[in-house]
A and B are shown apart, each in its own frame.
Chain A
Amino acid sequence: MRRIPVALLVPAVVALAFLTLPVVALFTRVAVVDLPSRLREPLVLDALRLSVVTSTISTLLCVVLGVPLAWVIARRGLRLRQLLRILVVLPLVLPPVAGGISLLVLLGRNGLVGRMLASVGVSLPFTTAGTIVAQTFVALPFLVLAAEGAFRNVDQRLEDVAASLGASQLRVFRRVTVPVAAPGIVAGVVLAWARALGEFGATITFAGSLPGRTETLPLALYRALEQSTEAAISVGLVLLAFSIAVLLLLRERWWTLS
């Protein structure tokens, strides 16, 4: 291998240290052997269970809604594609708390859609369902952008051949386009899931922080910090360990992508 120029090597090393040192620091404060006992604390256990359930459901929602949207964007002309992309990215650049407020305005009891939902007995704010809505709102753009890129890399001629072989548009999508784009879509799923798992601002604004119902791990972590740093660190470790476990499970699908 050729030598890396110093001008590139130094910032690269700094970036890597910047990303990994805080995580390493976390481990220096708490003995890892304590982790199982920490996990058994009801506060942590409830929050972990809630985080797993809500982030998984919101990631599934992202896939169900986001993959078709990504395909629609990928197959439009340039102008419309750019416009749609801006609309999709909007929640990404919005501060999450602002996102939570806009969700309240739309879906709150007096909100535009909220009022209609209330009339059929559905209320989203400060419920577990509200947590899922907030997570989906912030995670969806990641999935759409990744999947759109993946779809645009699928050779049009593969779809042409499939159509000429008698496949309907929907069959071409299911049997050719999605499988060929799968590695890119999986990358988007991982990003969306990570974003949903770490979600804080929109969740606390829209769904509040009710232990057992809307208090996910990041919210529990923040509350623990108000009590003691030690407690907060251990919750942080749980979050970290869980994330690493999932990434390891997905490594075959994602990390091996060249």
Chain B
Amino acid sequence: MATSGLTASVRTKRGDIDIDVSMSVGSGEVLAVLGTNGSGKTGLILALAGLVPLDSGQVKYGDRVLDDVATGIHVDAADRNVGYLPQHTMLFPHLSVLENVAFGPRARGVSTAQARRDATDMLSAAGLTTLIKRPAATLSGGEAQRVALLRALASTPDLLLLDEPTSALDVSARAFVRAELVSRLGSFAGATVLVTHDAIEALTLASRVLVLDAGKVAQEGLVGDVVRRPRTPFVARLAGLTVLSGTAHEHRVDLDRGGTLIVGDSAQGRVLVSVSPRGVSLHRDRPEGSARNVWCVRVTSIEAVGDVIRVSFEGQPSAAADLTASAIAELEVRPGMELWASIKAAELEVYPA
């Protein structure tokens, strides 16, 4: 077991979700907890922060026990040295930016003058000098979130808990705050738990991911592995992929729900195949190109996902394709339309079920 960083087994109830999670995060490591709304993500964060009690389990940071239901140990949130960044920022609206950042150190006994000096230095170093005197209530979403991050970091916490740090922001502020998070988390010495429903956020900020579904761990591993090789349709959906189960005979996979795919890597026996919508092309006529997999499909829905348009279709197999707006216009794609789908064998991830 790791003796540095966070080790936790958390069982608690949040609304009608039973949360039951074991996890560990090393010092300097960022673990993303990926899940939809109602998966228990926020409840898990609050339990780690000491803000909701555990029904059973244990939370340790290094050798320090923060929670142990069996022996009745519970360290209050105020004494945990945790930096908590809740969803929707939650800056103290009645205080200036400076007082917000200085709040933690002052609560932990640093003198007012010293805390203000440190907060001023921190804000200046982050390029936020112009905000120092502003009332927190007057900041834009992106500014507020950057200040909130500094506030969480100002008392040099052991453990940083981030709850959907960019979900409430508009697109341009999101990119900005994400860049700030990348640099801050890169130099942060403690353990970070990042809760998000956004697979991109997990990919850009975390090294490991834990997928939470209805309070339980659905999958855990290195971010790249989890998003390329989702084990359940739930994880695949979060990662924006389609996952298909089947039986492999070297390069051919017979899919359980009909259809056959030719894959680049040779495999044998029960396998999962993940299909990225970026690898799938759509055509009006049967394509003559080099793609090894070509099949007939019917369009079921068309929706914008970021800056591409995702066309979902049914067929053998059913999957989705990401197209540019001009491609959509050229193909004149409509729901119910019949098209040809193609994907190269090398674009398919195949891995043991």
Contacts and interface: CB of A to CB of B under 8 A. Distances in A.
B97 to A, nearest CB: 15
Contact of A164 (B83, B93, B94): B83
B90 A164 contact: no
Interface in B142-160: 151-152, 155
A160 B107 contact: no
A165 B77 CA distance: 8
B144 to A, nearest CB: 13
A22 interface: no
Contact of A158 (B51, B79, B83, B92): B92
SS of A interface (majority):
helix
Given A157-B86, A158-B92, A180-B94, A164 B49 contact: yes
A171 B78 CA distance: 10
Interface residues of A, number: 19
A169 B50 CA distance: 13
Interface in A162-184: 162-169, 171, 175-176, 179-180, 182
B90 A161 contact: yes
B61 interface: no
B84 interface: yes
A121 to B, nearest CB: 45
A155 interface: yes
Contacts of B334: none
B93 A180 contact: yes
B51 A166 contact: no
Contacts of A155: 90
Contact of B76 (A161, A163, A171, A175): A163
A160 B88 contact: no
Nearest to B148: A161
A163 B76 CA distance: 8
A163 B77 CA distance: 6
23 contacts: A158-B90, A158-B92, A160-B46, A160-B49, A160-B51, A160-B90, A162-B92, A163-B76, A164-B51, A165-B78, A165-B104, A165-B155, A166-B81, A166-B155, A167-B103, A167-B107, A168-B78, A169-B78, A171-B107, A175-B103, A176-B92, A180-B92, A180-B94
Given A157-B90, A160-B46, A165-B152, 7 more contacts: A158-B90, A164-B77, A164-B80, A165-B84, A165-B104, A166-B108, A179-B92
